[in-house]
Amino acid sequence: MRRRRGLTLLDENKRKVPVNSLDDLPPLSGFSFTEVGEALRDHSLVEHHVLWATYLRNQSAYSKSSINLDILLPNGYIYSILTPLHWTLKHLKEQLLKYVKIWTQDCNIDASCFIFSSVGDNGECLELYDEERSLDTVHMFLPFLVMTKPSDIDEEMSITEKIEIILGEPLVDLVSRLNPELKNFRLELFESTKRADDERGTSGTFHYAFPEETILPNIADRVFSPNLHSEVHEEDVEFWWYPTLPSDADHKAMQALRKKVERSKIGIEIWYRETEESEQGVSVGIKDIFDKKPCDIIGAALEILGRRENPADFILQVVGRKSFITLHKPILKFEYIRSCFENYREPKLLLRRKKTIFSQFPPPPKIFTPSYIRSDRFARKYPCTTKVAPVCFWEMDQVLSINMRGISNVQEYDSAKIYVKAVLAVGRHILDVKSTPAVPSNAFRHFVFDFNVYMKDVPESAQMCFLLYSANKKEVDEEPLAYVNVRLFDWRNVFCQGKSTFYLRRPPKGSSVASVLLLPCGGSTSHNSVRIEVEFPEIPGKELEFPDWEEIEKFNKFIRLRRDINGESERLELDPILVR
């Protein structure tokens, strides 16, 4: 029977230290980084790693509050630390560097430049960019972390510095103020930009910046609108000539153009020079141009010039501007060629080599992937918790009830009486209004707003408007002191549940309820403004999701069907979701 091999490291005195379990690692000893790397690359350690993985799983299975972690620092030392499982990677890094500065004198490690990495369940290297993840949700193969510096950290810091100069504030402060909706929008914006960059061409004539000459559309495919043009184009004149038969307009227009060219006896003038540095060139004229394509024109020009070269290596450029004729379309379909012949001018083109032209359009640099994108991809691949199926909002068979728990930071005298008005609305349409009794600002107690609206009847675009009034003012001069508009459903169409705190804004002077409803949603960023605490209905541990469009369509069909068969006693077989 082959002996199971363990891990052997060198301590400070160069003595071999056998490690057969996690407990064998000394807590404050430095080990050679080379020995650790060679040991981890040894395939015979697979059985030993499985033991370590089992140890980690047992820690979580028994719900222990802490775990012994071995962390390899950039200075080549391994530190063993007893870490609570609820610690996030960010907090672990802060605490670790705090302890390291006490243990060693020459430790100058910038926490923002390093991340943790480990070995995943399937043996792959995990770069843990998501530092808000707790240790019990990290899918490590063994309780071992390595503090590494990402290869592109310098580029990201350079980009961050430029952004901070433009914004005029640290980017960290801006990111800390982003809510989940803005973070999701930032991720989708990057992903859509990345998809667009992947789909666009980056080489040859398919390069996104390659200036192809304009192709004139077929008259049969156009709808002429003279009010949209500031000038009259030739294709518009052709539309006037043959307005009755648009399908024959192109053919008749080409016949008229052919007669015009034959009468004027003009063709296409092609210029060619041996090298790009040459100041002298040779020109040839080509008269037979009808029903010819750019590749035919290039072949005819090379034949006249006596050049035994492949026509596919050349390209036509319009003289005097950076525009090229490359598509396999009839030469008279290009706007420059057509306009020259219509005005009795001879088109002038340059015969140039493709490799020279294409070298001027190099592939663009790849889009840099910032760390927050890597963090999101890691979070999607390894979710922290199992997602619980949401509850349909239409299953809530109760009236909408909102509990207002308190109000503070009111800039009024203690003797002044105030009250809060809660408005349930959709746009300017008010569904219901409830108000609290007028009480002194320092004696406000919780109040329950019971609206005369069932929760299942609340539309997806509904919003709550909380307005603060002073009861000392006359009723005719009633004007809100502060307000806040709150959407009842977030960007994921999930109902806002539980307790929430909102900071009220000051409305414009002379505002009414109707005008306040059209103001932006969200509270004030100043925490010195009026603050209210409200509690929305909730189902503990589950999300209330508004029905998707397919479910709404089913309900709509059910309502129409019920109206059609109103008065009949026959009961139809319906989808269970519709008869809840």
Q: Taking the model in full, what pTM does it have?
A: 0.64
Residues listed for the chain: 580
Domain 7-152 and domain 219-358 have a common topology: yes
Residue 378, token pair as written in the block: 């890691």
Tens digits of per-residue pLDDT, 34-93?
A: 444 454 444 333 333 343 444 444 544 434 578 888 888 887 888 888 888 888 888 888
pLDDT above 70 for 571: no
Phi-psi region of 567 (alpha: psi -120 to 50; beta: other; left: phi over 0): left
Chosen CATH of 391-545 out of 3.40.50.2300, 1.10.3720.10, 2.60.40.150, 3.40.50.300: 2.60.40.150
More confident position, 366 or 9: 366
The 10s digit of each residue's pLDDT in 267-309 is 899 999 888 888 888 889 998 888 889 999 999 999 998 888 8
Smallest Cα–Cα separation from 399: which of 455, 346, 320, 447?
455
389 in Cβ contact with 543 (< 8 Å):
no
Question: Which architecture, in CATH terms, is 219-358?
Answer: Roll (3.10)
Burial of 63 (0-12, 13-18, 19+ CB in 10 A): exposed
Q: What is the pLDDT of residues 351-378, one digit of tens each?
A: 999 999 999 999 988 889 988 888 888 7
From the centroid of its chain, how far is CA 261?
Answer: 55
**Residue in 495, 496, 519 with CA at minimum distance from that of residue 507:** 519
Question: Is there a contact between 251 and 258 (Cβ–Cβ < 8 Å)?
Answer: no
What are the residue ranges spanned by the domains of the chain?
7-152, 154-199, 219-358, 391-545, 549-579
Q: Regarding predicted confidence, which is higher, 235 or 285? A: 285
Looking at the domain covering 7-152, what would its CATH class be?
A: alpha beta
Closest CA to 68 of 57, 84, 81: 81
Q: Give the Cα separation of 29 and 27 in Å (integer).
A: 6
Radius of gyration of the chain (CA): 37
Quick check: 33 pLDDT over 60?
no
Q: How would residue 248 be classed by pLDDT, with cut points 50, 70 and 90?
A: low
**Quick one: how far is CA 225 from the chain centroid?**
39
